[in-house]
Structure 1
Amino acid sequence: MKPSFRILLPLILLPVLSFGFSGAHAFELGDPLKGEKVFRKCKACHAVGADAKAKTGPVLNGVVGQSAAAKAEFKYSKAILEASQQNQLVWTVENLNEFLTKPKAFLPGTKMTFAGLRKEKDRQDIVAYLATFETEGGS
């Protein structure tokens, strides 16, 4: 049985996304299958996949490596729009990790009301899961 592309994608992306990052503790991608379970906490406001539609939050297809506020059809907060000007905020795996830890601390003024994910493993897994979705699809 051949492994699914969605499972292999994070393994392919990890060296690319983490290139140039150094430090005592670099953020690592986790298990996308476990991340799918963690994403249940996000489903009230976000969607992923080919038929995804924006809800309270934007569709998250292609979010890993993407500039913030990249979905033209979504009305973002002033804070995220200002952070995204001239590509000042890109959703790298490290930025996603920090944002998902405590969104309002990472980006004061964000509309995202989610308190955050305390467990680093949950954040690693959810970022790995999000990395399996390409930019195309959804609205």
Structure 2
Amino acid sequence: MLLRSFTWIMTGLLWVTVSTPSMADSRDHRQGERLFRDQCSGCHSLDPGVHRAGPSLDGLIGRPAGDLDDFDYSQAMQDAEHTWTTETLDAFLADPDTFVPGTAMVFWGLDETQRDQVIHYLESATAE
């Protein structure tokens, strides 16, 4: 009886240990999706070639700034000499006008947790 109880306890602990990171990742992904929908989707699409006030974010990670031929970027973004990585996107979403002075993006930034959630969402949602 004691051995059976111990086995159930260990099985429960193993389940919690194994499932907790994926549950947290899933929760962060959902939160990132919600933040994107609430904060970004009014101006940006995730669909290839579908532009709104801002360019499509499809395939964003790894793309040079201002690089889509079918979107009319601000001069500041055209002149930006960086590639979108998680690090550059983090800096941009923290304070767009400081990272790319003169950007046409009207956005006051996200806090660190929100940026992390949105970036991870974009990584998975826009992977090529």
TM-score interval for Structure 1 and Structure 2 normalised by the shorter chain: 0.7 to 0.9
- Cα distance, 1:90 vs structure 2: 0.6
Report the alpha carbon displacement of residue 44 of structure 1 after superposing the two structures with TM. Answer: 1.1
State whether residues 67 and 78 of structure 2, in contact with CA within 8 Å, keep that contact through their aligned partners in structure 1: no
The structure with higher relative contact order (CA 8 Å, sep 6+) is 1
| Contact 1:64-1:127 within 8 A present in 2 as well | no
**Residue 36 of structure 1, aligned match among 8, 22, 33:** 33
| 1:70 matches 2:31 | no
Q: TM-score, normalised by structure 1?
A: 0.67
> Which string of whole-angstrom CA distances, capped at 9 and with x for unpartnered residues, describes residues 10-31 of structure 1?
x9xxxxxxxxxxxxxxxxxx93
Q: After TM superposition, what 4+ stretches of structure 1 lie above 4 angstroms from structure 2?
A: none
Aligned to 1:134: 127
Q: Does 1:60 pair with 2:57?
A: yes
CA distance in 2, matches of 1:74, 1:89: 17
The number of residue pairs the alignment matches comes to 102
Greater alpha carbon shift after TM alignment, 103-112 vs 31-40: 31-40
Mapped pair 1:109 → 2:102: yes
Which residue number corresponds to residue 88 of structure 2? 95
> Matches of 2:76 and 2:60 in 1, distance apart?
18
Identity of aligned residues (%): 36
Q: TM-score, normalised by structure 2?
A: 0.72
> What SS class does the counterpart of residue 101 from structure 2 fall into?
coil
**2: CA distance between counterparts of 1:126 and 1:70?**
21
- Superposed displacement of residue 99, structure 1: 0.3
- Structure (1/2) with the larger helix percentage: 2
